[in-house]
Amino acid sequence: MEEKKQNNKWKKIGIIFIILFVIESILLIYIFRAGANMIEKENECAVNICREYNTYYYDMYEYMCYCYENHEIVYSEYMRWK
């Protein structure tokens, strides 16, 4: 009788770890894709929008790209998520 109880405990623990592994994998994939999208937007800001200016700043919270010339904002553009 005790052997069956121990087998059930290990099955429950195994199922819990499988579920946790699946949730962790989904979360890591989501974080990786979100980070890749942010890097893509920053690259778009640097290369396509602020190409002819000295420096740029991409605000990831407001989705704004700011282009600077001599420490002043000379151009800004709103960037939508695709």
Q: Tell me the per-residue pLDDT of 20-63, one tens digit each, with 9 for 90 and over.
A: 999 999 999 999 998 898 888 889 899 989 999 989 999 988 88
pTM of the model: 0.63
Alpha-carbon gap, residue 77 to 74, rounded angstroms: 11
Count other C-beta atoms under 10 Å from residue 79's C-beta: 18
pLDDT category at 81 given cuts 50, 70, 90 is low
3-class DSSP state for residue 74?
Answer: strand
Domain residues for the domain of 18 are: 2-78
Asked if residue 82 has pLDDT above 90, the reply is no
The stretch 2-26 carries a mean pLDDT of: 85
Overall domain count for the chain = 1
Asked if residue 3 has pLDDT above 80, the reply is no
